Amino acid sequence: MSQTVDRALSILPLLAEGPADLGQVADRLGVHKSTALRLLRTLHEHGLVYRQSDQRYRLGARLIALAQEAMENLDIREIAHPHLVKLNEQCGHTVHLAVYEEDEVLYIDKVESRYPVRMYSRIGKPVAITVAAVAKLLLADLPEPERRALADKLDYPVYTTRSTADAPAFLRELDKVREQGWATDLGGHEESINCVAAPIRGAEGRVVAAMSVSAPNVVVTADELLTLLPLVRRTADAISGEYSGRTSPKGTV
């Protein structure tokens, strides 16, 4: 809507790919160098862009700090965290918390596995939306037209032979997930990693977040992981209760 701002913001994802010099930025924006310079300067003043010693630009520190604040302000995260820790203490595996926002699912909290073999993931990283158990739960709860539109829009990368193949298969999977109230990812993202996930619901019953337990095959089999399902669902329900204001943390006050 605003050309100048639009151009300026387009620089950010561009720099996220790696450092770039003025000319490269100007070229990729399709504007004159002097224009790119002024935009970069403005971004720089706000700390979103940093100029490294070789004169090239890269994303700046304030961006990281801002994102940090953004996450810490998510109240679901605040409420869920102690529950995630407790669950991790009980089962020992990696625990994730994820939310959906504008066609993306992303992890907003994580408690690391206590086993030496760990799964790679990072808070803030967008989730493999077509296969992750938490993504299925979050998308399954979308209104039907929106869900269908999104499913059509998505790519379906073949991470493994068990990855979701296409939109129809995905929509079928979502229906199943919505009905049963929980989801799994059995080697759909990485051959040797399985996840079980459960939804966290707000006051009106809408799914506001999802949590999962993940573990590699070498630690527990898929069947063993599934035995944790009741525990995961209980934890998710406890968070739901607290988030929607029905119960207070650990019976406090």
Residues at the site binding DNA, with contacts judged by CB under 7 A: 2-7, 21-23, 31-35, 37-39, 55-56
- Is the distance from CB of 75 to CB of 97 less than 8 angstroms? no
- Answer yes or no whether residue 101 interacts with its own copies by CB under 8 A: yes
> Do residues 120 and 98 lie in contact, with contact meaning Cβ atoms separated by under 8 Å?
no
Choose the one of its own copies, DNA, none that binds residue 149, judging by a C-beta under 5 to 8 angstroms depending on kind.
none
Burial of residue 73, with CB atoms counted within 10 A of its CB: 0-12 exposed, 13-18 middle, 19 or more buried: exposed
82 makes contact with its own copies (CB under 8 A): no
In contact, 58 and 25? CB cutoff 8 Å: no
24, 28, 56, 62: which one binds its own copies (CB under 8 A): 62
According to DSSP, residue 250 is labeled G
Q: Which is nearer to DNA, 21 or 78 (CB)?
A: 21
Token code pair at residue 77: 């995260």
9 lies in the binding site for its own copies (CB under 8 A): yes
In the DSSP assignment, the letter for residue 161 is T
Shortest Å distance, C-beta 27 to DNA: 10
Under a CB-based contact definition with an 8 Å cutoff, are residues 232 and 212 in contact? yes
Q: Which residues bind its own copies (CB under 8 A)?
A: 1-2, 4-6, 8-10, 12-13, 16-19, 38-39, 41-43, 45-48, 50, 58-73, 99, 101-102, 104, 106, 108, 112, 122-126
